[in-house]
């Protein structure tokens, strides 16, 4: 029965007037199909109007099982897999894995091969930061920079392609050295040309253009009043929080920690070159953008120095025909464009690893999203997420 007692009704209506109107929070599913989640990241956000209360990233939409897959592959085959982890900078993924295998086999890699690796790694970093510059501007609403970024990146990709034969997935490293380059003419046993003709000249031009482009971005994007309003003091990440969450790479440096594995470890001969490590002060979105853009210039400088003084010598160390890695375990880490990438290789002496654990930068970087996004506004959510510059392949593997 649904009768209304008039007396009771009175009290109820009075009560409901005095009590503030209670509104339910809206649960907003951002992704997995959303234009600015860089792929298939899903964020379950509790929002009250524009304000975000609570964010929970849901990962795994792009899980491809590479760690498990690696257990049934031989070492040379695995380089094709790891290429695809962070596809924006495919080349840099190979380096720590190959270095790990080489360390277990105790192979001394020729200087020239190391230098070629270094050049291509830095080019991959430049490509990655180009993509970031374009995509981040797009996320805060500026449509133009991405076209400039893609056009300039193409020049660098062409160079990578001329050496390795692949634009995104080079698969260029071999255990003990690198593959003879793609555009280098007949590769007979006697006559191995490693770099394609004209590489020196083209690289010089391309790197000058990269420095020019980075300057252009600093004016075009960094000089824009609206961009400042959207990024300065937004998503401030303190030094302590960043370190506590295992954040690495440009994000950590933007928070003021001078940590760069290029100078701290010796996986590639970075100590031969003279470069700066850009760091930020505030740890906000603007600093993260700024650090990456300055890093582009530094990377271009490293490449320019490296092509000036190329050591001569073979491309390959002496390795057995069938590659077997002796039993043991090792962890090699490298400074990738997105942050620290490491491979923990457990070998039992077979053709392939017994277990391969991949530590990717984006995975740790994404884990800080709930902390950073608490209390942010919805447009800031996009700005903060974009400033972390993750790639879903790198998060899920």
The residues that touch another protein, with contacts defined as CB under 8 A, are 26, 28-29, 34-36, 49-50, 137-144, 147-148, 151, 224, 226-227, 229-230, 377-382
- Closest approach of another protein to the CB of residue 33, in Å: 9
- Dist. CA 137–CA 156, nearest whole Å: 20
Nearer to another protein, 242 or 369 (CB): 369
CB 28, min distance to another protein, A: 5
Which CB, 36 or 77, lies closer to another protein? 36
Q: How far is the CB of 235 from another protein (least distance, A)?
A: 13
Nearer to another protein, 26 or 205 (CB): 26
Of 226 and 244, the one with the shorter C-beta distance to another protein is 226
* Closer by beta carbon to another protein, 216 or else 329: 216
Please say which residue, 4 or 143, places its beta carbon nearer to another protein.
143
The strand pairing partners of 55, in sequence order, are 45
CB of 292 to another protein, least distance (A): 17
Exposed (0-12), middle (13-18) or buried (19+): which is 322, by Cβ within 10 Å? exposed
Q: Are 323 and 75 within 8 A, CB to CB?
A: yes
Three-state SS annotation for the chain: CCCCCHHHHHHHHHHHHHCCCCCCCEEEEECCCCCCCCCCCEEEEEEECCEEEEEEEECCCCCCCHHHHHCCCCHHHHHHHHHCCCHHHHHHHHHHHHHHHHHHHCCCCCHHHHHHHHHHHHHHHHHHHHHHHHHHHHHCCCCCHHHHHHHHHHHHHHHHHHHHCCCCCCCCEECCEECCCCCCCCCCCCCCCCCCCCHHHHHHHHHHHHHHHHHHHHHHCCCCHHHHHHHCCCCCCCHHHHHHCCCCCHHHHHCCCCCCHHHHCCCCCHHHCCCCCCCCCCCCHHHHHHHHHHHHHHHHHHHHHHHHCCCCCCCECCCCCCCCCCCEEEEEEEEECCEEEEEEEEECCCCCCCEEEEECHHHHHHCCHHHHHCCCEHHHHHHHHHHHCCCHHHHHC
Minimum Å distance from CB 312 to another protein?
40
Question: Shortest distance, CB of residue 278 to another protein, whole angstroms?
Answer: 22
Q: Which is nearer to another protein, 147 or 200 (CB)?
A: 147
Calculate the CA 40 to chain-centre distance: 16
CB of 215 to another protein, least distance (A): 17
CA 312 vs CA 123, 126, 266, 307: distances in Å? 21, 25, 20, 12
The alpha carbon of residue 134 and the mean position of all alpha carbons in its chain are separated, in whole angstroms, by 14
Residue closer to another protein, measured from CB, 140 or 175: 140
Q: For another protein, which is the closer residue by CB, 28 or 59?
A: 28
Instruction: Name which of 94 and 139 has its Cβ closer to another protein.
Output: 139
Output the smallest distance, CB 314 to another protein, in A.
43
Residue 58 backbone phi and psi in degrees, to 5: -115, 115
Minimum CB–partner distance for residue 144 and another protein (Å) = 5
Least spacing, CB of residue 376 vs another protein, in Å: 11
């Amino acid at each position: 029965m649904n009768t209304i007692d008039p007396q009771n009704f009175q009290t109820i209506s009075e009560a409901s007037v005095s009590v503030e109107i209670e509104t339910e929070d809206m649960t907003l599913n951002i992704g997995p199909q959303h234009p600015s989640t860089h792929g298939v990241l899903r964020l379950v956000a509790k929002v009250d109007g524009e304000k975000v209360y609570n964010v929970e990233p849901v990962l795994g939409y792009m899980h491809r099982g590479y760690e498990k897959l690696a257990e049934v592959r031989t070492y040379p085959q695995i380089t094709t897999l790891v290429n695809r982890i962070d596809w924006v900078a495919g080349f840099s993924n190979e380096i720590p894995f190959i270095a790990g295998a080489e360390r277990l086999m105790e192979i001394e890699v020729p200087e020239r091969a190391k230098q070629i690796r270094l050049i291509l790694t830095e080019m991959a970093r430049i490509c990655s930061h180009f993509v970031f510059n374009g995509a981040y501007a797009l996320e805060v609403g500026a449509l133009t920079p991405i076209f400039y970024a893609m056009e300039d990146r193409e020049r660098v990709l062409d160079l990578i392609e001329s050496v390795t034969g692949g634009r995104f997935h080079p698969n260029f490293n071999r255990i003990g050295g690198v593959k003879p380059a793609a555009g280098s003419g007949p590769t007979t046993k006697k006559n191995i040309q490693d770099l394609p003709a004209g590489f020196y000249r083209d690289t010089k031009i391309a790197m000058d253009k990269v420095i020019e482009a980075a300057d252009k971005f600093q004016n075009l994007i960094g000089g824009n009043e609206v961009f400042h309003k959207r990024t300065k003091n937004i998503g401030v990440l303190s030094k302590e929080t960043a370190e506590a969450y295992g954040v690495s790479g440009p994000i950590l440096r933007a928070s003021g920690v001078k940590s760069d594995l290029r100078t701290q470890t010796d996986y590639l001969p970075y100590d031969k070159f003279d470069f700066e490590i850009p760091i930020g002060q505030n740890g906000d979105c603007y600093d993260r953008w700024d650090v990456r853009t300055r890093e582009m210039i530094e990377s271009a400088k490293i490449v320019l120095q490296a092509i000036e003084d190329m050591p001569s010598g073979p491309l390959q160390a002496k390795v057995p025909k069938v590659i077997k890695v002796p039993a043991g375990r090792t962890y090699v880490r490298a400074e990738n464009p997105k942050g620290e990438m490491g491979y923990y290789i457990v070998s039992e002496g077979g053709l392939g690893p017994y277990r391969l654990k991949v530590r990717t930068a984006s995975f740790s970087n994404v884990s800080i999203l709930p902390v950073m996004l608490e209390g942010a506004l919805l447009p800031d959510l996009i700005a903060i997420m974009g400033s972390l510059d993750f790639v879903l392949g790198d998060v899920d593997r």
